[in-house]
Amino acid sequence: MKFDDYLFQIGLREKQKIIVHSSFKRISAAFAISPDEVINSLKDIVTSNGSIIFPTFTYCFKKSAGDYEIFDPENSKSKVGLLSETFRLSEGVIRTSSPTHSFALWGKIKNDIDETNSPESPLGRESVLDWLTHQQNSFVLMLGTDFSSLSYGHYLEVISKVPWFDFSPWDYLNVLPIGVSINGEQKLKEIPGCAKGFVNFEKYLLDKKFIKKHGYKSLSSYFIKIQLLFDEGIKYFQTHYDKLLCPIGSCQACDSRRRKFL
Ligand SMILES: [Zn+2]
């Protein structure tokens, strides 16, 4: 099978609005393809009448002790995977200016969101994820990744107001709620925490048959409507938020939330 055919088979079409989480390692284990070819395939199918979004997070927080990096929108490399960096540098792509959680954008979305986008709640209201929520025909495409990379989970935490939605669990890393870029400092609220527990939400959706895995060789992917993630997510996050934390003693960030809120 060709990679384009795989994308079509799992549901990708012209004019859709998609956010992509990906593991190039997993993709290239199933398809003989380069990073540039992956990005071109996505653009060819969705076309510029649709929208493609990749997270290009850099986590440039100010710290109370020790060194910290300063975000440079043009030169700071994405820390969330090779394909996100390849996409960021590809033709027609702009990058938002959040020092901690920037996104790379291509297609129609650029009419609504420009380079200056940097909400004080980086993955909450007025973020790219908020935009996706209010669009028809919007999807999360996960190529070879599980829900521990589902940025949308952080949006659900904020909107569902899980008990720790505005509590930063990164004190132990000396992280302050301030983003730092070459354009200055930005005070932040609703700092995204640990995402590993989102895999329990994934299991729940699989068990209930709300989502399904699309396997090909060793690659397994999801193509999920944002509307479904939102509707089921709000319910799950409001009632099962305790399941969103890592097991006791395995994660300092989640332990600090558990101590304070559970
Ligand atoms: Zn954790």
CA angle at residue 30 from 29 to 35, to 5 degrees?
Answer: 70
Q: Please, are residues 95 and 104 in contact by the beta-carbon 8 Å criterion?
A: yes
The CA radius of gyration of the chain, in Å to the nearest whole number, is 18
Ligand 1 centroid from CA 198, angstroms: 10
Ligand 1 centroid from CA 253, angstroms: 6
Torsion of CA 184, 185, 189, 190, to 10 degrees: 80
Q: List the chain residues with pLDDT less than 70.
A: none
- Which of 159, 228, 241 is closest to 198 using CA atoms? 241
Provide the pLDDT for residue 14: 98
Residue type, 39: I
Ligand 1 centroid from CA 255, angstroms: 7
Ligand 1 centroid from CA 163, angstroms: 15
Provide the pLDDT for residue 226: 98
Ligand 1 centroid from CA 119, angstroms: 24
CA 96/CA 110 separation, integer angstroms: 10
User: Which pair of structure tokens corresponds to residue 212?
Assistant: 């399904």
| pLDDT tens figures, 15-53 | 999 999 999 999 999 999 999 999 999 999 999 999 999
Provide the pLDDT for residue 36: 98
Provide the pLDDT for residue 4: 98
Ligand 1 centroid from CA 44, angstroms: 37
Provide the pLDDT for residue 97: 98
Ligand 1 centroid from CA 245, angstroms: 6
Give the Å distances, CA to CA, from 258 to 84, 148, 161, 237: 32, 19, 15, 15
Sequence-distant (≥ 6) Cβ neighbours of residue 39 within 8 angstroms: 83, 86, 87, 90
